[in-house]
Each structure stands twice: as structure tokens, then as C-alpha cells.
Amino acid sequence: MIHPDKKRLRRSMMFLNCQKPGLIKDPYIYGADSIMLDLEDAVAENQKDAARYSLFHALREIDYRGVERVVRINGLDTPHWREDIRVCVAGGADTIRIAKTERAQDVRVVEEAVTAAEEEFGAPVGRTLLMAAIESTRGVLNALEICESSERLFGIALSGGDYTKDLQTVISGTGVELAGARQNMIIAARAAGVQCFDTVFTNLDDMEGFEREVRMIKMMGFDGKSLVNPRQIEIVHKIFTPTRKEIIFAEKVVREIDEKKAQGIGVFTVDGKMIDIAFYDGAMRTLRLAKASGVYEGDL
């Protein structure tokens, strides 16, 4: 069984430190589509057990009101990841984010451990979804095999800080150092039919720069963005939610294509734009995204 939420709306995915109970007790109030409960970089080495304890009780006792609960586990090169997985599954996390994924085998190793934990704790096998964080040049080059590695995997995400370190450069704010990784990852994700998420933007004093970056990654084809602060959520949702104008145009395209196809007409115009059957999937995606965002209640 694969979780029915594999294709759910995920425009925003906000990081929260599991080491700090105050941060994870009620983050649903901010309105992010997903929260990322972090057991990895945000947690000090001597606090891993305490963070897992906090995470388990939060997952079991807090009503997150429909917000997806993603847990970032420690890397496979650490002694922590197996116990991280057991706590995630026992607590009922929706998704496990695999840190530092470099090859398909990394995903399969985690999948085997997740399946074993589901059996151990009596959870339905297949309930726990996976996503892969790509943080290295090797991971970027292997993006397609990672995307196709498991039926549990709903998407991949770029981790820009570690990737640029591996690339032997730094985050510049221009995006030039991330352009190749972003393009390769979105192409791989679309080829495999999974989602793709951009890296965090850490300069909270530059909200204009953040908005420019979000508009750029949406144009590139990303599904959403990892976030570090609640202030960033509204901007992401505004940009990734179809406008009324886009919704009306998508409705027209779908209806016209359905009508013209029945008449044997292949090419026509909608609002002065040349349209053919190739526009159908894009228009339907706009309507599905609008419906999932809560701004469309039409019949398409």
C-alpha cells in the first residue's frame, strides 16, 4: 500500500528543530503545507536521543491539523539513522527525508529499514513516504536514478549549502552557482513523475531577494521550497497558487480542447493565443493546484 497523500500539495516545507519542544508543539498555526521536523544538522551530537524522545511524543500527542509531518533523519554515514527511522515509524510520521542522498541504493536501504519498522510496530506497510535530499555533485548527477528508486519516494529536494561546498563555491545570492543542479533535478523529477523542491533562503533581511528567487524557481518548474522562517510562507503560497486570471484561462483551455477535439479540430485560439492538445495537461495541472490551494471549486 502506498500512502494516498503521495501527490498532495506541498508548496512550503518549513524546518523545525526537534531539539526544542517549544518549536514543534504547534507549528501548524503558521499554515505551511508541510513541516520538517529536523533530527539532523539542527540537533547537537549529544542531544540526538533527547530530540528523538521529543519527536516521538510530539508525533503521538499533538494534532497537527492536517499539516504533513516530514522528519529529516541523520545521514546513512552516522550511527543514528536506524533509530531515527524506528522513532519516525512508531510515532506515525507521514514522511522521512533522507539526508545526503547520492544514489538509488541509499533510498533502498532506508526503504528496507522503514518496512521493517512498519512491521515491528504494526503499521500498514507502505504508509510512510520518503523524500530524498540531494546535497552533493554526485547526488545531482544521479538525480534520475534516485527519483526512480522507490514507489514510496514522492520527491527530491536540493540542499544548496552542502551542494555548493561540494562544488567548491559559495551561495552568492545570484543563483548562478545553483543553476545546473536546479535544472538537472527538475528535469529528473519530471521524467520520473515525482515532485521537486528548492533549497532554503537564509537571509531573512532580504525578503525582496527571497521573492525573486521563489518566482524564478516556480518558472523553472519546481513544486515548492524548503523554508526556515514562518515569514516566508505567505510569499511562497502567493507565488505558487494560481491567480484568478490563470484559473479562468485554464478552464477555457480545457473546455475548448474537449469541445474542439470532438469536432476534429486540432488547433484554435483562446483569448488570442494559439492552443492545441499539448496545452491540456498544463491547464489541468493549474486547476488541480488551484483546487488543492483552496481557490477553485469548479467542476473540472
Residue list for the binding site? 72, 135, 162
Q: Nearest Cα to 58, choosing from 17, 98, 99?
A: 17
On the CB side of 125, CA atoms within 13 Å amount to 7
3-state helix, strand, coil in the chain (%, to 5): 50, 15, 35
Cell 529499514 sits at which residue? 113
**Which backbone phi and psi does 269 adopt, to 5 degrees?**
-120, 145
Helix 244-262 crosses helix 280-292 at what angle (to 10 degrees)?
A: 140
CA distance 8 to 228: 21
CA distance 120 to 188: 34
**Binding-site residue set for substrate:** 72, 135
CA distance 155 to 190: 10
Per residue, the 3-state secondary structure of 61-114, as one string, reads HCCCCCCEEEEECCCCCCCCHHHHHHHHHHHCCCEEEECCCCCHHHHHHHHHHH
**Binding-site residue set for Mg(2+):** 135, 162
242-272 in b/e burial notation, b at 16+ Cβ within 10 A? beeeebebbbebbebbeebeeeeeeeeebee
